[in-house]
Amino acid sequence: MLLNNFQATLEYAKELDKEDSLKHFREEFYLKPGSIYMDGNSLGLLSKRAERTLLESLEDWKEYGIDGWTQGNHPWFFMADELGKKLAPLVGGSAEEVIVTGSTTVNLHQLVSTFYKPDGIRSKILADELTFPSDIYALQSQVRIHGFDPDTHLIRVKSRDGRFLEEDDIIAAMTDEIALIVLPTVLYRSGQILDIKRLTDEAHKRGILIGFDGCHSVGSMPHSFSEWDVDFAFWCNYKHLNGGPGGVGGLFVNRKLFGKMPGLAGWFSSNKEKQFDMEHTLTPAHSAGAFQIGTPHVLSAAPLIGSLEIFTEAGIENIRQKSLKINQYLMDLIDNELADMGFVIGTPREDARRGGHVSLEHKEAARICKSLKENGIIPDFRAPNIIRLAPVALYTSYEDVWEVVQILKKIIIEKQYEKFKNEREVVA
Ligand SMILES: Cc1ncc(COP(=O)(O)O)c(C=O)c1O
Ligand SMILES: Nc1c(O)cccc1C(=O)C[C@H](N)C(=O)O
């Protein structure tokens, strides 16, 4: 018997699969026979529906040429807003507050360009030292654009242990010098969820705007951005939402901030009725659509149309429930089967504090990952010592998880990893 009433046998894993109400969605995805995909938190797999809507969009181009902007299966002129409407329930925004556009880093630049308004002593940006590097590079460059030195004007809250952040430490750093806060919803290494509502409330008490990077949470758990009064958020759609490599990202802007001139404007920031008047004075859309810049990347957004159908059918609450259970099962099996093998689980144990992946630390992590791949398991490695494993609610079975843990055990017992160098690949 394991910790949470789970059992360690293959038969038990099969029982869990039988009871899984989401199990039929697995058939919708292109899973490679003989391989177990545990990297949905870096790039989700292709579904047949995503493939279908991409092909339909190509068909529209073939059939309609320029008229594809207003005709066909998925008229391109309205695609970003239509996708925003479908994504809105997953982030807890209204249809007007969400748009599918840009990429995570571009959207971050857009939102910071719009909402970072240094004013006297209130001139600094607050982030944290565990954030994904692209966000830090973007924030550093935004600070520089305003003529400040990132060393003094980009404050990074420290982690006490290198894994997690304490909300108390973040709140303590919300001084009257802070103009804007940008934090992750879920940390990309440890999978820790930050208390978004508490942080938002505390920021607002101090008159500070706050935005979140939702890359590692959107598609794996529900959000209530509007209800929590978050000012803005941005994310990619290629991880848990399976929108395809380099697929178009998303952003949320709280409706109380509508009407602001976008920091980075372009003709797709326009009110759609006015756009083709071709005036030199921009009339921005009175919605998150105002934060688009230029022509949408139609073919990179099209797979998301099909993918979101699946999320609507499955229900994000059900997805979260399975995600919590299957990740718990993975952690319990690791505790049970891999004890005394040098593994440390670097993900919070409490449901309310963990996202959709498990961070497994080991000093030989880089070469264990290579060994896993040789055994048909796709994890990812994050330097210096993390094996990230993401059992995904829509397509990972409990049997897959059981199998992964057995293979990990074999790799360690047989020292299979020793034939590889303990260093990362180019794309790790
Ligand atoms: C948390 C986080 N922020 C930002 C990025 C950068 O995203 P993109 O390269 O799509 O701009 C990623 C992933 O690459 C990420 O995981
Ligand atoms: N965006 C990526 C890419 O272009 C290549 C390889 C990986 C990625 C990722 O998304 C990595 C991801 N942000 C992470 O959490 O590590």
Asked if residue 2 is part of any domain, the answer here is no
CA of 357 to the centre of ligand 1 (A): 16
CATH of the domain at 56: 3.40.640.10
25 and 92 fall within a common domain = no
376 and 290 fall within a common domain = no
266 and 385 fall within a common domain = no
197 and 270 fall within a common domain = yes
**Is the minimum distance from the CB of 97 to ligand 1 under 6 angstroms?**
no
78 and 227 fall within a common domain = yes
Question: Which structural domain range is residue 370 located in?
Answer: 10-30+316-419
Q: What is d(CA 409, CA 366) in angstroms, rounded to the nearest whole number?
A: 16
- Which residue CA neighbors atom 14 of ligand 2 most closely? 42
266 and 414 fall within a common domain = no
Closest ligand to Cα 233: 1
Question: Is the pTM for the entire model greater than 0.90?
Answer: yes
> Is 347 marked within a binding site?
no
CA of 311 to the centre of ligand 2 (A): 22
CA of 394 to the centre of ligand 1 (A): 22
From first to last of its 428 residues, the chain has per-residue pLDDT tens of 676 778 999 999 999 999 999 999 999 999 999 999 999 999 999 999 999 999 999 999 999 999 999 999 999 999 999 999 999 999 999 999 999 999 999 999 999 999 999 999 999 999 999 999 999 999 999 999 999 999 999 999 999 999 999 999 999 999 999 999 999 999 999 999 999 999 999 999 999 999 999 999 999 999 999 999 999 999 999 999 999 999 999 999 999 999 999 999 999 999 999 999 999 999 999 999 999 999 999 999 999 999 999 999 999 999 999 999 999 999 999 999 999 999 999 999 999 999 999 999 999 999 999 999 999 999 999 999 999 999 999 999 999 999 999 999 999 999 999 999 998 988 87
pLDDT of residue 1: 63
79 and 189 fall within a common domain = yes
**Is the minimum distance from the CB of 132 to ligand 1 under 6 angstroms?**
yes
108 and 127 fall within a common domain = yes
> Is 24 marked within a binding site?
no
pLDDT of residue 4: 75
150 and 253 fall within a common domain = yes
154 and 64 fall within a common domain = yes
**Is the minimum distance from the CB of 188 to ligand 1 under 6 angstroms?**
yes
Atom of ligand 1 nearest to the CA of 107: 11
Count of domains forming the chain: 2
The residue from 270, 294, 312 where one domain ends is: 312
195 and 210 fall within a common domain = yes
**Is the minimum distance from the CB of 228 to ligand 2 under 6 angstroms?**
no
The residue from 284, 312, 340 where one domain ends is: 312
CA of 243 to the centre of ligand 1 (A): 14
- Which residue CA neighbors atom 7 of ligand 1 most closely? 104
